[in-house]
């Protein structure tokens, strides 16, 4: 199953069943390995899903995986100095006016470079997002955004960039 990104920024991610989910125990509470194996064969082990939202554990990593899943041809994300500047500007603009993501992307000289810089931020996980939020505040003014807010904005900007023809 693949990761699904929803309009509100939440992600539906696959969750493999836990190792102990289908354990069969005897009257003494001891796991019966043969019965557990038979139960798994009869009922199978089925992958389930979970919805995670910005700020929840694993969200940043899942968003990076979703980006890779949606565009496997891109390869590893690369951040350039000009792309990073554009990424900071667009995140700041969307933080100031969340209703106008498309306008903020339109204002970029090179949306592809800004998008690559944002993907590069996501790949670094939470510490990278937190550092980036601090850089945005230093460059654009104001207080650093919380990591989950920054991540949500990055997801919205990337979705807007990806929705445009190349």
Confidence at residue 135, expressed as pLDDT on a 0 to 100 scale: 93
Whether residue 47 sits in one domain with residue 63? no
pTM of the model: 0.66
Whether residue 85 sits in one domain with residue 16? no
Whether residue 64 sits in one domain with residue 47? no
Whether residue 37 sits in one domain with residue 91? no
Report which of 157, 129, 151, 162 is spatially closest to residue 63, judged by C-alpha positions: 151
Can you give the residue range of the structural domain that contains 89?
Answer: 59-162
- How confident is the chain (166 residues) per 10-residue block, as mean pLDDT? 84 72 61 58 65 82 82 74 90 93 93 91 87 92 91 92 84
3-state secondary structure of 69: helix
Confidence at residue 71, expressed as pLDDT on a 0 to 100 scale: 75
Q: How far lies 129's CA from each of 2, 29, 78, 140, in Å?
A: 24, 45, 15, 16
| Contacts (Cβ under 8 Å, ≥6 apart) of 33 | none
Total number of domains constituting the chain: 2
Report which of 18, 1, 3 is spatially closest to residue 62, judged by C-alpha positions: 3
């Amino acid at each position: 199953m693949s990761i699904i990104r929803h309009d509100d920024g939440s992600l539906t991610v696959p969750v493999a069943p836990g190792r102990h989910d289908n354990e069969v125990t005897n009257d003494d509470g001891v796991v019966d390995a043969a019965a557990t194996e038979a139960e798994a064969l009869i009922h199978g082990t089925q992958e389930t899903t979970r919805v995670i939202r910005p700020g929840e554990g694993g969200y940043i990593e899942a968003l990076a995986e979703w980006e890779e899943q949606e565009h496997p041809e891109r390869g590893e994300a690369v951040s350039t100095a000009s792309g990073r500047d554009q990424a900071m500007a667009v995140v700041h603009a969307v933080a100031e006016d969340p209703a106008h993501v498309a306008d903020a992307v339109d204002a970029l000289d090179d949306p592809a470079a800004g998008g690559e810089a944002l993907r590069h931020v996501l790949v670094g996980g939470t510490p990278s997002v937190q550092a980036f939020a601090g850089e945005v505040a230093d460059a654009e003014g104001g207080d650093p955004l919380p990591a989950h807010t920054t991540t949500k904005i990055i997801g919205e900007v990337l979705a807007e960039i990806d929705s445009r023809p190349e």
